[in-house]
């Protein structure tokens, strides 16, 4: 188009000079105007292009950046707990994290310190205003009260002070308070386990991959409560300084209940230093007395040295070993069968059998049963039994449970092994764990014979554990009355029961520390009303065990059809 | 021709720009809604968490026993083991058995 117009212009040209004079001026004017117009368009176009460029860069940036970036600041913190729940065998909640607050103070934001201190004194008289004043003067951020509840938070809020800051944190709550104090343990303010299961499984409880999966324990809240209640009552009845009870599944080693008294409320953070709050069943190390006689008898039968009915003739009333005199509490006939030795709890009879067994085999048994080792339980608080020197009279004293210490939980697991057919078990607090020991402690035949004898300890006329003979449960067991190891003033009365002895399922250990004779308590002993003649386990620990079995029996039966059909329905129908 | 192309491409670009901004705006609105819902879910989760804790506390044996005592009973009511049914099918099976036994008894009585 441009070329054409140029050609037309050239045709109209009159003269060179004229054209040059007139046209050049016109042309210049026109080209000048045109140039100005074009420059403006270019400028506008440039601006427009740069705007488009800016926009496109922005769009590219936005599309590449994360979609949540625009509201990231106001987004709520997701509800995530930093520690797993702990539940019992039935899924009942034992511990859980909840959102809570610490009340802190930023001194720089407090204008009227005097007024603030007065308000604090009026509303929180338990807080030391003297200490707070000191901290305020230091002008450093400090905590006024840690782990406050909702009502306390509202109370602090109502003070109307800008300087009070509510610092969010997660508090560990225990729904059962005292009930599981010795097992569960506690966590610190930073949610690190400091005792019990909380410490033992600290890593697992904080594992982010399985945060929603609770840690399932073998314990049963209902049984734990019943056992705890009965034991508490027993401590009051017999004026004991403490006590413990343990219920274990003899086949799996699952601990259904573990109570050690006195206990404490784990929802409160207190510094507990008193020894009486020690976990007596796992950390406590005791001389358990006559309970060891069962091991002696089992070992003698296992080694084919005697049979249950073998008569041991001419048993003396006492024996002398070095300077020590070994005798029985009661007078027994001079000829006793092996089972009678256990039923009547004869010390002298046990010594005679131990001598037949020999030190080597006894040592081997103790080694295999891990009686002198710390229990392999999933809590931090486990005791270490005293090392023993096999000197002159050791075999004799160990045969009836003196001069040897162990933890009650280990003693209960050895009893479980002896009655379950001889299979060694590992006590456990964790449900559905994988490893189960498959080592034999005694043969199945020996186990059956021992079950029968243990039943007679409870059911026979000369037995020491009459009060545990509860109809329908076929209870068997062995009593143990001993002095504290290294402290003759202390007294430990223990009873380890097994039920039902036809096919053992549970072991129940009841231990009372320093019980006294209750002069007001009237027992019904074989149809006769009487008061306790002795301060032996038969008159207190066995009595408590009987009461516990009476109450937990139906619960255990409900969870097990076989048990219901055979052992409970008969009684109640 | 060249200017025409520029204009067309600019128009297309502008249209896309507007559409993008519209989509972005709508996304923003949806995100706001999601944010609100997340906030609600978070609060609900917190409520459930604390309610469960309350439930387990209130249904703990100690609390139930306290409630039973306040209701004027000194102990739990004993229930015959035969009256405890583990499931409805268990209950109906037992009832069927009982009715079958009753019929047999009735027949025996009639015969006698």
CA dist., res. A98 & res. A255, Å (int):
28
Closest C-alpha among A469, A564, A562 to residue B80:
A564
DSSP state string for A131-154: HHHHHHHHT--EEEEEEE-HHHHH
User: Structural domain of residue B91, as residue ranges?
Assistant: 79-112
Torsion angle of C-alpha atoms A38, A44, A46, A49, degrees rounded to 10 = -130
CA dist., res. A143 & res. A12, Å (int):
101
Q: Is the pLDDT of residue A531 over 90?
A: no
Cross-chain residue pair A59–B53, CB shorter than 8 Å: no
Q: Which of A195, A217, A239 is the last residue of a domain?
A: A217
Q: Which of A217, A246, A277 is the last residue of a domain?
A: A217
CA dist., res. A199 & res. A185, Å (int):
7
Residue of A nearest to B11 (CA): A52
Partner residues linked to A111 by β-bridges: none
Q: Is the pLDDT of residue A325 over 90?
A: no
Report the range of poorest mean pLDDT among A127-131, B43-47, B94-98.
Answer: B94-98
Distances in Å between the alpha carbon of A6 and those of A13, A23, A24, B110? 11, 13, 14, 135
Q: Hey, of A76, A91, A177, A222, which one would you mutate to test binding to chain B, going by the most B CBs within 10 A of its CB?
A: A76
Cross-chain residue pair A67–B27, CB shorter than 8 Å: yes
CA dist., res. A363 & res. A394, Å (int):
11
Q: Which of A3-12, A144-153, A448-457, A556-565 has the highest mean pLDDT?
A: A448-457
CA dist., res. A500 & res. A452, Å (int):
11
> How many domains does one find in chain B?
1
CATH number at residue A454: 3.40.710.10
- C-beta separation of A197 from A184 below 8 A: yes
Which pLDDT tens digit goes with each residue over A366-425? Answer: 999 999 999 888 998 899 999 888 888 888 899 999 889 999 999 999 999 999 999 999
Cross-chain residue pair B62–A569, CB shorter than 8 Å: no
Six-digit token string for A510: 């009841």
How close B112 gets to chain A, by Cα (Å)?
28
Which pLDDT tens digit goes with each residue over A9-63? Answer: 555 555 555 556 566 677 777 777 777 888 888 888 888 889 888 988 887 887 7
- What are the contacts of A57-66 at 24+ separation with CB within 8 A? A59/B17, A59/B20, A59/B21, A59/B24, A62/B24, A63/B20
- Indicate if A125 and A238 belong to the same structural domain: no
CA dist., res. A345 & res. A465, Å (int):
11
- C-beta separation of A193 from A201 below 8 A: yes
- Indicate if A329 and A354 belong to the same structural domain: yes
Task: Tell me if chain A has a CB within 8 Å of the CB of B5.
Answer: no
Residue A361 resides in a domain: yes
* Torsion sign (Cα): A18, A19, A23, A28: negative
> How many domains does one find in chain A?
2
Q: Quick count: other Cβ atoms within 10 Å of Cβ A436? A: 13
Six-digit token string for A317: 């009333």
Cross-chain residue pair B81–A557, CB shorter than 8 Å: yes
Residue B98 resides in a domain: yes
Residue of B nearest to A553 (CA): B81
- Indicate if A208 and A244 belong to the same structural domain: no
* Torsion sign (Cα): A364, A365, A369, A373: negative
Six-digit token string for A19: 């054209």
Task: Tell me if chain A has a CB within 8 Å of the CB of B69.
Answer: no
Q: Is the pTM above the cut of 0.80?
A: no
How close B61 gets to chain A, by Cα (Å)?
6
Residue B106 resides in a domain: yes
Q: Which of A196, A217, A238 is the last residue of a domain?
A: A217
Closest C-alpha among A182, A233, A291, A240 to residue A512:
A240
Residue of B nearest to A87 (CA): B56
- Indicate if A454 and A371 belong to the same structural domain: yes
User: Structural domain of residue A168, as residue ranges?
Assistant: 86-217
CA dist., res. A431 & res. A43, Å (int):
80
Six-digit token string for A130: 């003297």
- Indicate if A149 and A238 belong to the same structural domain: no
How close A78 gets to chain B, by Cα (Å)?
6
């Amino acid at each position: 188009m441009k070329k054409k117009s140029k050609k037309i212009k050239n045709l109209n040209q009159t003269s060179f000079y004229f054209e040059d004079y007139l046209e050049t001026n016109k042309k210049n004017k026109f080209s000048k105007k045109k140039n100005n117009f074009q420059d403006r368009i270019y400028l506008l176009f440039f601006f427009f292009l740069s705007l488009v460029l800016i926009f496109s860069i922005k769009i590219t940036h936005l599309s590449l950046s994360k979609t949540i970036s625009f509201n990231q600041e106001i987004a709520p913190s997701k509800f995530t707990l930093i520690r797993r729940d702990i539940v019992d065998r039935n899924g009942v909640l034992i511990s859980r994290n909840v959102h809570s607050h610490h009340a802190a103070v930023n001194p720089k934001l407090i204008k009227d310190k005097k007024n603030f201190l007065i308000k604090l004194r009026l509303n929180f008289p338990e807080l030391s205003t003297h200490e707070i004043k000191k901290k305020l003067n230091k002008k450093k951020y400090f905590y006024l009260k840690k782990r406050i509840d909702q009502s306390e938070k509202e109370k602090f809020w109502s003070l109307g002070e800008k300087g009070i800051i509510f610092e969010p944190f997660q508090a560990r709550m225990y729904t059962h308070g005292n009930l599981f104090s010795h097992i569960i343990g506690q966590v610190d303010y930073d949610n690190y386990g400091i005792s019990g299961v909380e410490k033992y499984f600290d890593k697992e409880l904080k594992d982010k991959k399985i945060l929603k999966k609770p840690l399932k324990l073998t314990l049963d809240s209902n049984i734990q409560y019943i056992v705890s209640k009965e034991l508490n009552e027993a401590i009051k009845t017999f004026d004991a300084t403490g006590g413990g009870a343990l219920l274990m599944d003899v086949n799996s080693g699952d601990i259904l209940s573990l109570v050690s008294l006195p206990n404490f409320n784990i929802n409160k953070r207190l510094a507990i230093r008193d020894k009486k709050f020690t976990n007596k069943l796992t950390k406590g190390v005791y001389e358990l007395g006559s309970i060891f006689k069962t091991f002696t008898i089992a070992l003698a039968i296992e080694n084919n040295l005697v049979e249950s009915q073998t008569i041991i003739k001419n048993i003396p009333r006492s024996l002398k070993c070095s300077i020590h005199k070994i005798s029985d509490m009661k007078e027994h006939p001079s000829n006793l069968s092996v089972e009678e030795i256990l039923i009547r709890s004869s010390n002298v009879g046990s010594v005679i059998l131990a001598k037949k067994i020999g030190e080597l085999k006894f040592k081997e048994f103790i080694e295999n049963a891990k009686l002198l080792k710390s229990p392999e339980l999933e809590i931090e608080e486990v005791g270490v039994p005293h090392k023993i020197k096999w000197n002159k009279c050791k075999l004799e004293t160990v045969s009836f449970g003196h001069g040897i210490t162990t933890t009650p939980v280990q003693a209960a697991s050895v009893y479980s092994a002896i009655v379950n057919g001889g299979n060694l078990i590992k006590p456990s607090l964790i449900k559905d764990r994988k490893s189960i020991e498959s080592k034999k402690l005694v043969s199945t035949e020996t186990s059956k014979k021992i079950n029968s004898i243990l039943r007679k300890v409870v059911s026979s006329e000369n037995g020491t554990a009459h009060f545990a003979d509860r109809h329908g449960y076929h209870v068997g067991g062995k009593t143990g009355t001993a002095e504290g190891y290294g402290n003759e003033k202390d007294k430990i009365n223990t009873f380890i029961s097994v039920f039902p002895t036809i096919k053992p399922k549970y072991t129940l250990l009841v231990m009372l520390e320093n019980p006294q004779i209750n002069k007001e308590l009237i027992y019904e002993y074989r149809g006769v009303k009487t008061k306790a003649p002795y301060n032996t386990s038969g008159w207190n620990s066995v009595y408590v065990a009987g009461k516990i079995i009476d109450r937990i029996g139906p619960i255990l039966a409900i969870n097990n059809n076989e048990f219901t059909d055979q052992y409970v329905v008969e009684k109640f129908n | 021709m060249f200017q025409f192309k520029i204009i067309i491409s600019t128009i297309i670009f502008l249209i896309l720009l507007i559409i993008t901004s519209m989509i972005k705006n709508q996304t923003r609105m949806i995100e706001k809604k999601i944010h609100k819902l997340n906030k609600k879910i978070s609060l609900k989760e917190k409520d459930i968490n604390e309610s469960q804790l309350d439930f387990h506390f209130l249904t703990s044996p100690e609390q139930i026993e306290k409630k039973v005592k306040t209701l004027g009973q000194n102990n739990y009511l004993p229930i015959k083991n035969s009256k405890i049914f583990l499931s409805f099918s268990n209950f109906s099976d037992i009832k069927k058995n009982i009715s079958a036994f009753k019929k047999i008894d009735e027949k025996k009585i009639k015969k006698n």
